[in-house]
Chain A
Amino acid sequence: MDTAAIIWILEIAGASFLGGVVGAISGLGGGIVIVPVLTVFMGMPIQQAIGASIVSVIAVSSGAGSVYVRDHITNVRIAMFLELSTASGAILGAAVLSRFLNADTLKILFGFTLLFSLVPVLLKLAEELPENVQSDRLAKWLQLQGSYFDKRMGREITYNAGRVPPAMGIMFLAGIMAGILGIGAGVLKVLAQEIAMRLPTKVATATSNFMIGVTAAAAAGVYLHRGLVLPFVVVPVATSVLVGAILGTKLMEKMSNTMVRKVFAVLLGIIGVQMLMGGFHVKL
């Protein structure tokens, strides 16, 4: 037996396990860990790493999603309604805008947007549950309000959903980003729900987690067709990311909303910096 081959698979599996844990807690999928490990440490071309990342996002979204949906932390109506914006944006991005927009410019704009959006997240870092949130008319008509049982607090949390139109705008942008770059949609999805709609953080990350699988499946066609999905890479990625994601759901359900927001804030900063570095071609 070729030990080099086994070690190679185990390295991918280790990074994917960690990606699954972090991805399930933050609602961002596993790419944040998997892409840097595959490219920087294992020398894989970025496009193939994104192909692996898309597979990981689908596995995390489905694995963690099955737990969050069963436990009613995911708001299925919010997910379905916002997916409409993302799916339209993704088609527009992939089919039309990718011909006109320069990927580097987009990464720079995206990077600055994310770093600016750190400010509102940090300002309410200590807030366990959003207060004084009124459902807007659209949210009431769409029945987006909901409730979930918080295992940490040991009680049912009822919440409203505010400012749906700006959330739809952000979700549309998330779709455009996903359609052009193949990555980065999850972070805008959490922000749309956390900053615009002011949902409890756990609901925001669990609902984002539910949505990213559909966006990733839509983007998968391009990567499959262009031969950017490597079968021997995706097996360790999908299996370990799934195990990590299930562990991630157990951790997240027992965390406070402030703790989940802290995890998200750290990743938000990292992704913002990564995007800027990518856009300006700065390499570590």
Chain B
Amino acid sequence: MSEPEQSGNPTTAPAQPAGGVRNENIIQDVSAWVLRIGVVSSVLVMALGLTLAFIHHPPSVHHMQTAVLNDHLTVILHGVMSGDGESIIDVGLFILVLTPVARVLASVILFALVDRDWFYTAVTLIVLILTLVSLLFIH
């Protein structure tokens, strides 16, 4: 174990208004909840899809090694309506991929509305735009 106090570091937190600390906590709590809700719901939806797929017509190893995700939303929606396990897995996968994006979107809103920190609002907004551009347009 090293020396408890580091000589070069301040022993007290940097001067910050009490409101700043509380706002920081709101951003952290909301980010944590967005991530938790996103990842848990996506995994539950995926597990439901896998269960349905096995109940309806158990897939062979060969099918599982080759079945590819369908990225046409209309096809997926049609599949979900008819209770197709694979389409439901696809929906869960989309929820998962969008979870970090939703987290960044939440940060943009919170830095703007709660913190009124325009520099960080701009930073997170640019990150959001760049992420969406890569996700949607770079193929």
What residues of chain A have their CB less than 8 Å away from a CB belonging to chain B? 1-2, 4-5, 8-9, 44, 55, 58-59, 61-63, 65-67, 69-70, 72, 74, 76-77, 80-81, 83-84, 87-88, 90-91, 94-95, 127-134, 140, 142-143, 145, 147, 153, 155, 158-160, 179, 213-214, 216-222, 224-227, 229-235, 238-239, 242, 256
Q: A84-B126, A132-B6, A238-B96 are in contact. Are A66 and B35 (CB under 8 A)?
A: yes
Chain A residues closer than 8 Å to B104, beta-carbon distance: 83, 214
Establish whether residues B2 and A230, one from each chain, have CB atoms under 8 Å apart when the complex forms. Answer: no
> What is the interface of chain B mostly: helix, strand, loop, or mixed?
helix
Could you tell me which residues of chain B, from 45 to 99, have a CB within 8 Å of some CB in chain A? 46-47, 49-50, 53-54, 58-61, 63-69, 71, 86, 89-90, 92-93, 96-99
Q: A95-B138, A221-B139, A222-B138 are in contact. Are A5 and B100 (CB under 8 A)?
A: no
Q: Could you mark each residue 11-34 of chain B with 1 if its beta carbon is under 8 Å from any beta carbon of chain A, else 0?
A: 111101000000010011101110
Q: How far is B98's CA from A224's CA once the two chains are assembled, in angstroms? A: 13
Q: A131-B6, A214-B101, A235-B46 are in contact. List 16 more A-B contacts (CB 8 A).
A: A4-B60, A4-B61, A9-B64, A55-B96, A70-B32, A83-B127, A87-B127, A155-B4, A160-B10, A218-B130, A221-B136, A222-B138, A222-B139, A231-B67, A231-B68, A235-B50
Closest A residue to B101 by beta carbon equals A217
Establish whether residues A61 and B100, one from each chain, have CB atoms under 8 Å apart when the complex forms. Answer: yes
Chain B residues closer than 8 Å to A66, beta-carbon distance: 32-33, 35-36, 39
Between-chain CB contacts (< 8 Å), 12 pairs: A2-B58, A9-B64, A55-B97, A62-B36, A65-B35, A80-B124, A91-B133, A218-B131, A226-B139, A230-B65, A238-B46, A242-B43
> What is the interface of chain A mostly: helix, strand, loop, or mixed?
helix
Of the candidates B8, B47, B92, B134, which one forms a contact with A131 in the assembled complex, judged by CB atoms under 8 Å apart?
B8
Closest A residue to B68 by beta carbon equals A227
Chain B residues closer than 8 Å to A226, beta-carbon distance: 139
Chain B residues closer than 8 Å to A59, beta-carbon distance: 39, 42-43, 96
Establish whether residues B24 and A224, one from each chain, have CB atoms under 8 Å apart when the complex forms. Answer: no
Q: How far is the CB of A281 from chain B (nearest CB, A)?
A: 24
Closest B residue to A4 by beta carbon equals B61
What residues of chain B have their CB less than 8 Å away from a CB belonging to chain A? 1-4, 6-14, 16, 24, 27-29, 31-33, 35-36, 38-40, 42-43, 46-47, 49-50, 53-54, 58-61, 63-69, 71, 86, 89-90, 92-93, 96-101, 103-104, 107, 119-120, 123-124, 126-127, 130-131, 133-139
Closest A residue to B110 by beta carbon equals A76
Closest B residue to A1 by beta carbon equals B58
Establish whether residues A44 and B65, one from each chain, have CB atoms under 8 Å apart when the complex forms. Answer: yes
Establish whether residues B107 and A80, one from each chain, have CB atoms under 8 Å apart when the complex forms. Answer: yes
Establish whether residues B93 and A234, one from each chain, have CB atoms under 8 Å apart when the complex forms. Answer: yes
Establish whether residues A87 and B61, one from each chain, have CB atoms under 8 Å apart when the complex forms. Answer: no
Q: How far is B132's CA from A90's CA once the two chains are assembled, in angstroms? A: 12
